[in-house]
Chain A
Amino acid sequence: MAKKMTIGLSSSCIDKLTGLGVILSGAAAEDLEVDLFILVNAGHAFLKNKAENLKEMSDQVQTSEEFLKSLEQLKTPHWIEFFEMAKDMTTVNILLCSLAGKIAGSDAKEDYIDLVDDICGIGEYIDSAGEADINLFI
Chain B
Amino acid sequence: MTTEELKAIQADKVVDSRGTACPGPLLAVKQAMADIPSGGVMQILSSDAGTKRDIPRWAAKKGHEYLGDFEEAGFFTLYLKKA
Do chains A and B stick together as partners?
yes
The B interface is mostly helix, strand or loop, or mixed, namely: helix
- Please encode chain A, from 57 to 94, with 1 for each CB lying within 8 Å of some chain B CB and 0 for all others: 00000000000000000111000000001000100000
B: number of interface residues (CB 8 Å): 12
Q: Which residues of B contact A76 (CB under 8 A)?
A: 20-21, 24
User: Is the Cβ of A28 less than 8 Å from the Cβ of B19?
Assistant: no
Q: Considering the chains assembled together, what is the distance between the CA atoms of A85 and B26 in angstroms?
A: 12
Please report B residues at the A interface, Cβ cutoff 8 Å: 19-24, 26-27, 30-31, 58, 61
Please report A residues at the B interface, Cβ cutoff 8 Å: 22, 25-26, 28-30, 74-76, 85, 89
- A76-B21, A76-B24 provided; 14 other pairs, C-beta below 8 A? A25-B27, A26-B26, A28-B30, A29-B26, A29-B27, A29-B30, A29-B58, A30-B61, A74-B20, A74-B21, A75-B20, A75-B24, A89-B27, A89-B31
